Structure 1
């Protein structure tokens, strides 16, 4: 009893296209043809095809199947490599499930980068968006500093900045900027990487600061942006007034 290509494919639970592809790459030998030119597959072809499909279903790349047949050592190496890849994939998927479980409990966490799932649900949308953007442009040391910094409760000054209306008076903006300075200087002492967060940025400093600048301009209102400008000016004054290192 011999089978046609279509019948062989059906017996193996695959397709004509797949069988022909295995012929093309040399994994499945071509059978003899009948007088009418049709291929005649037999049990050895079906067994071979079923073995190939078994390995493919386990995740073995077609390019490795031939190497596996060359020696037991090759076969073991291919299977161990595949096992390690599967273990890493399972671990990654488990982490994803854990993150999804957190997001199911608090939908707002979907707006934050990984590692910031403990952030207070009351954190302003602008800050959430900034953290998400920062995760794409800042380096690991800066993101680690931001993680630690944001793990603490928001200070009264930060809360006042969040609530600052667009039409806040100049005096209110100046006072808020002045009150921010001691906090920021302390942050710099605790987390030196925050003083120049774009240093070591994977995308380069110019692109990083372009993203940060545009993000601030679009996410904060005019009064908040003015406070940030005043803060930068005060920080610069503080740097100029700081005693120089005699060395």
Structure 2
């Protein structure tokens, strides 16, 4: 019994192009041709092809199939490595499914920062961009605190700053500074690491600082940067009285 390339592909549940690819890689021998020029596959070719398909289904890379199918001493190690890769892939897929469920539950944008789906409606495009970058620069504890800050922020000052034009007048800027400063002061009290975040960095201090400078310049216009800088200074000036109020409240 002999088969054509098409018949062999159908028997093995694959395609003609796949068989040709295996020929090019040297995984499957090229058979003799009939008098009419067509290849003539035999049982040994079918068995070889089915063995290759089995290993492919297991996830063995084509580049390793020759070694694995030969059953050399390294085969168990190769399979263990493959199993570890598959386990990691399954974990990633399970996490992706979990994330998708949260996104659907909270009706959040698909590209919302992970963990911020429930507050995504409060985030401006700039806020979302910055949080994505924060997640690369800070550890999980710091990001959890950032999420708490977003959840606790019910003031519309963030939206007003986002809408601030580059040529905003001084009165408008000052008003925003005075609204933002107490919020920043409260955050400095509730999250002391903000004053010295070194312990919560995921990368070097230099890279973090350099990245944040680039981010701020790119995402904020001059008026917004002015408000943020002045509000930060004012917040630190207000910190002693804010601490007193915090102590009285305690």
Same fold, judged at TM 0.5 (above): yes
- For residues 39 and 203 of structure 2, the distance between their equivalents in structure 1, rounded to whole angstroms, comes to 66
Give the Å deviation of 1:106. Answer: 1.0
Q: 8 Å contact 1:188–1:194 — kept in the other structure?
A: no
Higher mean displacement: 30-39 or 55-64? 30-39
Segments of 5+ residues of structure 2 without an aligned counterpart are 239-250
SS, match of residue 113 in structure 1: coil
Cross-structure match for 1:214: 218
Aligned counterparts of 2:173 and 2:180: Cα–Cα separation in 1: 11
Q: State the partner residue of 2:76.
A: 76
How many residues align structurally?
Answer: 230
Secondary structure of the 1:151 match is: helix
8 Å Cα contact 1:187/1:194 also seen in 2: no
Partner of 1:229: 229
8 Å CA contact 2:31–2:39 kept in 1: the answer is yes
2:226 and 2:22 mapped to 1: Cα distance?
67
Is 2:158 the counterpart of 1:162?
A: yes
Aligned-pair CA distance for 1:144: 4.0
Give the equivalent residue in structure 1 for 2:142. Answer: 145
Q: Any idea what the Cα deviations from partners look like across 1:23-50, whole Å, max 9, x if unmatched?
A: 2222112223344444321111111111
Q: In 2 relative to 1, CA 52–171 (structure 1 residues): closer, same or farther, beyond 3 Å?
A: closer
Q: Distance in 1 between matches of 2:133 and 2:111?
A: 10
Deviation sequence 1:158-196 (CA, Å, 0-9, x none): x26236585765663453355356335436733421899
Q: Alpha carbons of 1:154 and 1:170: their partners in 2 closer, same or farther (altered >3 Å)?
A: same
Contact kept, 8 Å, 1:176 with 1:227, in 2: the verdict is no
Q: Distance in 2 between matches of 1:196 and 1:86?
A: 32
Q: Which residue of 2 aligns with 1:190?
A: 193
Aligned counterpart, 1:24: 24
CA distance change for structure 1 residues 69 and 193 in 2, over 3 Å: closer, same or farther? Answer: same
Deviation at 1:148, TM superposition (A): 1.3
Query: CA 1:86–1:177 in 2, change beyond 3 Å: closer, same or farther?
Result: closer
Higher share of residues assigned helix: 2
**How large is the Cα RMSD of the aligned pairs?**
3.8
Match of 2:102 in 1: 102
Q: Could you tell me how far 1:203 is from its partner in structure 2?
A: 6.1
CA distance in 1, matches of 2:111, 2:24: 48
Q: Secondary structure at the residue paired with 2:115?
A: coil
Alpha-carbon distance in structure 1 between the residues aligned to 2:232 and 2:201: 14
Residue of 172, 176, 179 corresponding to 2:179:
176
Q: How does 1:2-13 map to 2 (within 5 A)?
A: 2-13=2-13
Tell me, which stretches of 5 or more residues in structure 1 are unaligned? 239-247
